[in-house]
Structure 1
Amino acid sequence: MFNLFFGVPPSVPLRHRRMYYVALIGFFLALLLHSSWLVAFSLLGIYPLAYFNILSVAIFVLGLYLIRSRGLILSMMLLGSFEVLVHQTLAVYLMGWDYGFQFYVIVIASFICLGHFRNLAIPLGVAAFSGLLFILLYFVVQHLAGEHYVLAEPIRAAFFAMNCSVLFFQLTIFAFLFSAAARNAELELKNEHEKSERLLLNILPRSVAERLKAGEEQIADNYNEVSVLFSDMVGFTSLSLERKPEEVVQIMNSYFAAFDELAVQHGVEKIKTIGDAYMCAAGLPTHQPDHAILIGRMAVDMLAASKRITAELGLPTGIRIGICSGPVSAGVLGNMKFVYDIWGDTVNMASRMETSAPHNAIQVAESTYNLLKGDFPMQRRGRMKVKGRGEADVYLIGEPEPGQSIR
């Protein structure tokens, strides 16, 4: 039954729901009030107002129907406001000021301002006209022809008390609706702000996000002590050709979700993913003296997680990991879909370490080896030709597995 009268029809847009409830409640209260007036004026012999209330009841019944079935909210609010203004002008003209009918003009000023009008001139104009009419009722209308109908003092007092009480009740209802709408808007704004914050922090480091929100337009920094890690899935390209796209996404998400958890656990900054490659770094945007140890622990746990997931899913894949330590540059790139990225020779070398690493192994440059020796078991792989760098010593983290070739 509640939904029958107060449920919002699907045709009413979300932005108009507050206005829908305001119109529906206002018309429902007006229908009850005008129906009671129709009975009262008929019994008291005030037939001009009784006949007018027949028209008023028809207007508000029709208005409720059109609001519910056709969504004609704004037009019905204007029609209802016009009816009340004309009705109260006639009541003051016929009965005088002491019955309190003029107070409903004040209700219209608040009622119309709760509507969601695109053109603000409409509600402001109606509200201004209501205020002007209230003044005219007091200084002009009630004195035009005096009181056409003189009722006993108890009846006059009863009308005044009833109209004041209804006025108070209607204004309270409208104030409650406005307050509820404001609270809901504030809550939705807070939720959207928190959602935006979470999305922003999924894209940018917290300190970088704070700088952007503070108004810094271009963010670019140099870091002298950073360790960069690249990883890539071995055999994943052929696997993706054999599986459905949704299966590939699920498999990749299994690995990357595990890597993301490890990044948070070790205090490592995830930079980005490119296809089946995963890139992260330690030592930025906040300086970390133990950046190489953090990235080393991250790499060891990534390798273990990869082996576990590969075994659980029964996949013929593996992982290669490459690490290099040294200076990098970092910043926010782009205006649309911007990203926090890093670049420099250290980044390039870390990528080279990954592409030349053995299957299921962690290969590091000499700069990283010098920072990790003594903290991790290391093995020298030898000198290798590195693209763009000539020959360089490279190392592997961990003891060699039985039968493993490091060449």
Structure 2
Amino acid sequence: MKPYQTSKRFRIFDIGVPSGMPAFDAKHIRLCNAAALIASAAALAFFFWEIPLITDWGHTTRGEATLILARGLSVLPFLIPVWLNHRGRYDTARWCLVVWNCLLIVEMGWIFGSLAPSHLFLVILGFILPSLFPPGKEVHLLLATLLTGLTFTAFLILRTWHEPLVPVHRSGVRLAMELAVTGGCLILAFLAGKVVRDTTWRAECMAVYEKDRADRLLLNILPPSVATRLMDDPSTIADGFHEVTVLFADLVGFTPMAESLTPREIVQMMDDVFTRFDALVEAYGLEKIKTIGDAYMLAGGLPLPDPRHASKVAAIALDMQETIASIQSPGGHSLQLRVGIATGPVVAGVIGRKKFLYDLWGDTVNTASRLESSCLPGRIQVEATTREQLGTGFVLEERGIIQIKGKGELRTWFLNGKSEAT
């Protein structure tokens, strides 16, 4: 799922939203910007609409005209919340928007009295307040709601008992003014609702996108079945498997070869090698466990049991040898691989809370690692249990009894290929 893309003409709503801010936090800033800009545009439109009506087409005194023109400057403070958001002062921006709206409504009641039903704008303000203040700002929301109520009370007092500074006597002008304010409120209510809906929808889309991205990352680190369990229940995951096959592969002579290469060449070479190995793992339906330096570890038969785990691991080992033979280092050196394979019980689980991974433990893991380190370059070494699992499907060459560090004497075999009957 792609994230919600903001139209270029609406990117001004993103002022003050830093990169990486969670979607549910950013939506409150966007709503504040949108409300401030829409309110400034509406105030400017009302100002030009009111001039010919309120001045009674030239029958207003100079003092009244000066007052009306001064009122036109009230548009400018609506831009202050956008500037404050740009400066990262989000709470101040919200309060600036709320307070200036309330002052403007009181001002309209003071200047025009009962001529303009400006208290309707308070309904719109009350509608957006819960979306303007984020969770955790309940005290701010309560105070802003109380301020809105006090503003309504002040407006009613001015409308009832205060003589308007700009009286309008012609009934046609009064009707036009009421229609303009009421119609404007309906338009603003529609725009406010649309902004709230769009910002909420955008936040939800971004949240879904971020969750999908996190899930994909988790699935790239852990087996799907394990990742699903971890998402459903973040408790410790530890499973015992009676029989799996573990493979360790290591590049021969990597350390001295790396000394003659640049860091970029080393990373590019390792990325090429391990990317090809990853493709083989996916093709065989096996599980990549991890990479450790120039070593690669995989397993078959987990997290879901597979009766063909040994034969699949043996087959991928042969393919890995073919793959590595086709790759040359940037210095022109041929690459060789040592591979060790062991079959037996293991314990698997997810460890850590940061940079966690799905890992394996047990004697089988240690044996596979020792078989790799004691293997000859370009060969694949297996132990007795793996040999029994492979049966007659593969060509095996007995190496004999060798000394394995930490294990003592162990009879091993080289895996040379698949049998012709396979």
Fold shared per TM-score above 0.5: yes
Structure 1 residues 18, 58: CA separation in 2 closer, same or farther (over 3 Å shift)? same
Deviation of the 1:370 alpha carbon: 0.8
Structure 1 residues 77, 366: CA separation in 2 closer, same or farther (over 3 Å shift)? closer
Name the CA distance, whole Å, in 2 between partners of 1:257 and 1:394.
30
Deviation of the 1:79 alpha carbon: 4.7
Name the CA distance, whole Å, in 2 between partners of 1:272 and 1:380.
29
Name the CA distance, whole Å, in 2 between partners of 1:63 and 1:265.
61
* Stretch deviating more after TM superposition (164-173 or 328-337): 328-337
Deviation of the 1:356 alpha carbon: 1.6
Map of 1:44-193 to 2, 5 A cutoff?
45=59, 50-61=65-76, 63-64=78-79, 67=82, 71=86, 78-79=95-96, 81-92=98-109, 95-97=112-114, 99-110=116-127, 114-115=131-132, 119-134=137-152, 137-138=155-156, 140-145=157-162, 149=167, 151-193=169-211
* Stretch deviating more after TM superposition (24-33 or 323-332): 24-33
Deviation of the 1:127 alpha carbon: 3.1
Deviation of the 1:253 alpha carbon: 0.7
Kept in 2: contact 1:106–1:130 (CA 8 A): no
Partner of 1:41: 54
Name the CA distance, whole Å, in 2 between partners of 1:164 and 1:287.
70
Structure 1 residues 104, 144: CA separation in 2 closer, same or farther (over 3 Å shift)? same
Name the CA distance, whole Å, in 2 between partners of 1:93 and 1:7.
33
Partner of 2:18: 13
* Stretch deviating more after TM superposition (337-346 or 48-57): 48-57
2:297 corresponds to which letter in structure 1?
M
Partner of 1:257: 275
Kept in 2: contact 1:328–1:346 (CA 8 A): yes
Which of 413, 416, 421 in structure 2 is aligned with 1:395? Answer: 413
Name the CA distance, whole Å, in 2 between partners of 1:105 and 1:389.
81
Structure 1 residues 313, 19: CA separation in 2 closer, same or farther (over 3 Å shift)? farther
Kept in 2: contact 1:6–1:24 (CA 8 A): no
Which of 238, 252, 257 in structure 2 is aligned with 1:220? Answer: 238
Name the CA distance, whole Å, in 2 between partners of 1:261 and 1:361.
21
Name the CA distance, whole Å, in 2 between partners of 1:309 and 1:19.
58
Partner of 2:290: 272
Taking CA–CA contacts closer than 8 Å with sequence separation of 6 or more, which of the two structures ends up with the larger relative contact order? 2
Deviations 1:333-383 (CA, angstroms, capped at 9, x unpaired):
223322211111111111111112121111111110111121112221222
Which of 299, 303, 313 in structure 2 is aligned with 1:285? Answer: 303
Partner of 1:405: none
Name the CA distance, whole Å, in 2 between partners of 1:128 and 1:50.
34
Kept in 1: contact 2:318–2:417 (CA 8 A): no
Name the CA distance, whole Å, in 2 between partners of 1:35 and 1:319.
81
1:170 corresponds to which letter in structure 2?
L
* Stretch deviating more after TM superposition (89-98 or 197-206): 89-98
Name the CA distance, whole Å, in 2 between partners of 1:50 and 1:300.
92
Aligned residues: 398
Kept in 2: contact 1:28–1:64 (CA 8 A): no
Partner of 1:386: 404
Does structure 1 residue 232 correspond to structure 2 residue 245?
no
1:33 corresponds to which letter in structure 2?
F
Deviation of the 1:298 alpha carbon: 1.4
Name the CA distance, whole Å, in 2 between partners of 1:315 and 1:18.
61
* Stretch deviating more after TM superposition (188-197 or 211-220): 211-220
Name the CA distance, whole Å, in 2 between partners of 1:352 and 1:43.
98
1:242 aligns to what SS in structure 2? Answer: coil
Runs of at least 5 residues in structure 1 that lack an aligned partner in the other structure: 401-407
Counting aligned pairs with the same residue, the percent is: 30
Partner of 1:302: 320
Runs of at least 5 residues in structure 2 that lack an aligned partner in the other structure: 1-6, 20-25
1:377 corresponds to which letter in structure 2?
V
TM-score, normalised by the number of residues in structure 1 = 0.86
Deviations 1:13-57 (CA, angstroms, capped at 9, x unpaired):
353344323322321222222233244322365667654443332
Kept in 1: contact 2:338–2:377 (CA 8 A): yes
2:46 corresponds to which letter in structure 1?
L
* Stretch deviating more after TM superposition (52-61 or 385-394): 52-61
